[in-house]
Amino acid sequence: MNDARERGLRPFGLQPFFALARAQTHADQPMTLYRALDTALAETIGHTLFTILHYDATTNESARVYSNLPNEYPTAAKKPLAGGTWVDTVLTRGEAFIGRTADDLRAVFPDHELIASLGCESVLNVPVRWKGRTLASLNLLHTRAWYRDDHVPFAQALAQFALPALLDDV
């Protein structure tokens, strides 16, 4: 389990930003960058499950391009997007979504039982945006009531480091 030592942001300085900038220089992309994002978010905010979903507005589908638990959440799995509060918040308005309880997750995720089986009862979804549209979301899931509003600005800043890899797929 990837836990930050406390539920708040751990003291981290600029190291996560330096690590992500270094990761962007490697030839093995996008995996080097995605793994660096996984590590930076685990060490600063914390998570049990971390995935990145890439959105295709043309087909109205999402595709998982990264997962720290590939057996439970494999990459390349595509699924159609349904409407609802989550889609409106994250994809349309480009805002972060925080679900603090299993009931919150049950209300928006059809795979809530699998999520719960991993010990996850809270979520922080952060959009990656370019030119006013959401290209992807970084999805952190953890124990009950883990994520707070003060995690959002930091997570949003780190999420934007995924942009070059996501634009490369467009």
Tell me which amino acid residue 88 is. D
Q: How do residues 66-107 score in pLDDT, each as one tens digit?
A: 999 999 999 987 888 877 889 999 999 999 999 999 999 999
Q: How do residues 11-31 score in pLDDT, each as one tens digit?
A: 567 888 999 999 999 999 999
Q: How do residues 55-69 score in pLDDT, each as one tens digit?
A: 998 898 999 999 999
Which domains can be identified in the chain, with CATH numbers?
Answer: 21-67+78-168 (3.30.450.40)
Say which DSSP state 131 is in: T
Q: How do residues 97-151 score in pLDDT, each as one tens digit?
A: 999 999 999 999 989 999 999 999 999 999 999 999 999 999 999 999 999 999 9
Candidates 115, 111, 139; CA nearest to 127 is 139
Say which DSSP state 148 is in: -
Q: Is residue 114 a contact partner of residue 138, using CB atoms and an 8 Å limit?
A: no
Q: Is the pLDDT of residue 2 over 60?
A: no
Tell me how far apart the alpha carbons of residues 4 and 47 are, in angstroms, rounded to a whole number.
Answer: 8
C-alpha distances out from residue 21 to 26, 65, 101, 128, Å = 10, 20, 34, 16
Q: Roughly what angle, to the nearest 10 degrees, separates helices 31-44 and 152-159? A: 170
